[in-house]
Amino acid sequence: MVHVHFIEIPSSNPSEIVVKDGGGIESTDIKAEIYDSNGNLLTTPVIVNFRLEPILEGTYLNSPDQTSVNVESVNGIATVSLNSGTEPGPVRIIATANTLETSICDSLNDALESITVPVVIASGAPYHIEAEYDPNSTEAIGGGFYQTECAAIVYDRWYNPVEDSTYVYWSINPLPPDTLIDAFVEGVSYTNNEGVLSGQATSGVARSNIVYSTDAIGDIGQVRALTFGANGDSVASFINEDQGDATLFFLPGQVSLLSEATYWDFSLNGNPALLQISALVIDFYGNPVVDAPVAFQGTGVNAWYELGYELIKDVGVLGAGAGDGCFSWRDYGADDDPTTVDMGQGNQNHDAFDIDGDGLIDTSEVSEPFDDFGQDGLRGYI
């Protein structure tokens, strides 16, 4: 008759594996050691039942879909292979002997079992990343500069948050064809770090900050978050990719609306009433904001027209923009080709170019005809 005194599960080696296809070791051996009353390993074979409880998604013992298995010991040790699935977390193993299913002909003992967590399944290597930012968290940090929090959430193949301290690398570039932007992003962060502005730390989330000046307000930056996957491959994401990227927001200072008239007598001044409306935009620091988009709206306004100081002929460009009350041009850069990215393209300015560097303008973007005589409209006067 075999007399089992106790059974225990030692720590596994390795004690940490990764989820399936996670880019690391995905299995480990779980051992149960069976001892007699003298504390010696039993040399007589004993059947031990291993079972997972609870069961992490996809995790199995020895063969797929097996979560409970009987194993015969060899020299007092029963061994089973634990294989990871798609869910991370601690693995709880129950090893049982001296039951009807694992009878060892020992009527002196009730069922003996050992319950422990000998292994942890960790998240896999980065496989997905999504970058975002929070313009509502923008703060003035002094010296005429602003700071906005941005963050990236990093997942493994199965959308589990990756392990803490996974590094994420940040960069910012102007939206082509622009080549300069008065901003930078703090270049290195890691998952579960604490945000400078939010004061929050979240598993799987790496936080950083965009710093920019008054001159960058209204500019659009391409902010990229980059990490590396299982085989060193790049895993990257842009903030608002294909949706406008990251606009550097205006932190309210002062916006003043000016009008050339506050009262209009239609009987004396005619119909419709054409009034010039101007917006004066001053940032938090008292600096004037330049080249930032401003949206106008008003009750009872029939139409808004672009203000042009020089006389234009509102005939459109190649059939587009005729009679729209705005100055129209093809914002396609020096080569007038929308399929290429070159100087001046897409910058919302009607540019002229010195292509050969001799100090003389060689070409300009195609536009509606206009008199280039300045605000006074008089030829020969500066």
H, E, C per residue of 36-87: CCCCCECCCCCEEEEEECCCCCCCEECCCCCCEEEEECECCEEEEEEECCCC
Question: Is pLDDT at 183 greater than 70 in this prediction?
Answer: yes
Which one has a higher pLDDT value, 247 or 313? 247
> What proportion of the chain, given as a percentage, has pLDDT over 90?
55
Q: 30 pLDDT band (50/70/90 cuts)?
A: very high
Question: Is pLDDT at 139 greater than 50 in this prediction?
Answer: yes
Question: Is pLDDT at 2 greater than 80 in this prediction?
Answer: no
For the ranges 85-89, 339-343, 373-377, the maximum mean pLDDT occurs at 85-89
Strands 205-213 and 60-61: unpaired
Can you tell me which residue has the tokens 């009262």?
A: 263
Rounded distance between C-alpha atoms, residue 149 and residue 137, angstroms? 7
- Three-state DSSP at 214 gives helix
Q: 108 pLDDT band (50/70/90 cuts)?
A: very low
Cα 156 from chain centre: 14
* pLDDT in the model for residue 27: 96
Question: Is pLDDT at 376 greater than 70 in this prediction?
Answer: no
What is the per-residue pLDDT across 197-218, written as a single tens digit (0 to 9) for each? 999 999 999 999 999 999 999 9
* pLDDT in the model for residue 105: 46
89: number of Cβ within 10 Å = 16
User: How much is the pTM?
Assistant: 0.72
Q: Domains in the chain and their CATH numbers? A: 6-122 (2.60.40.10), 128-247 (2.60.40)
Provide the token pair at 330.
């093809």
What is the per-residue pLDDT across 250-273, written as a single tens digit (0 to 9) for each? 988 899 999 988 888 888 888 888
Q: Which amino acid is at 62?
A: N
For the ranges 12-26, 106-120, 182-196, 273-287, the maximum mean pLDDT occurs at 182-196
Q: Is it true that the peptide bond before 288 is cis, omega within 30 degrees of 0?
A: no
Which one has a higher pLDDT value, 150 or 378? 150
Which one has a higher pLDDT value, 68 or 313? 68
* pLDDT in the model for residue 188: 97
φ and ψ at residue 61, rounded to 5 degrees: -110, 125
Length of the chain in terms of residues written: 382
Question: Is pLDDT at 23 greater than 90 in this prediction?
Answer: no
Element (H, E) at 142: strand 128-142
Q: 150 pLDDT band (50/70/90 cuts)?
A: very high
336: number of Cβ within 10 Å = 15
What is the pLDDT averaged over residues 321-347?
A: 83
- Three-state DSSP at 215 gives helix
What is the pLDDT averaged over residues 180-190?
A: 95
What is the pLDDT averaged over residues 292-296?
A: 88
What is the per-residue pLDDT across 52-84, written as a single tens digit (0 to 9) for each? 999 999 999 999 999 999 999 999 999 999 999
Mean pLDDT of the chain: 88
Can you tell me which residue has the tokens 């069961």?
A: 55
* pLDDT in the model for residue 140: 96
Strands of 191-303, DSSP E: 205-213, 220-228, 234-238, 246-247, 254-259, 277-282
Which of the 8 DSSP states describes residue 107? T
Rounded distance between C-alpha atoms, residue 209 and residue 314, angstroms? 45
Task: List the single range of 120-124, 138-142, 161-165, 372-376 with lowest mean pLDDT.
Answer: 372-376
Contacts 24+ apart (CB under 8 A), 57-64: 57/85, 57/86, 57/87, 58/20, 58/84, 58/85, 58/86, 58/87, 59/83, 59/84, 59/85, 59/87, 59/91, 59/121, 60/85, 61/30
Question: Is pLDDT at 308 greater than 90 in this prediction?
Answer: no
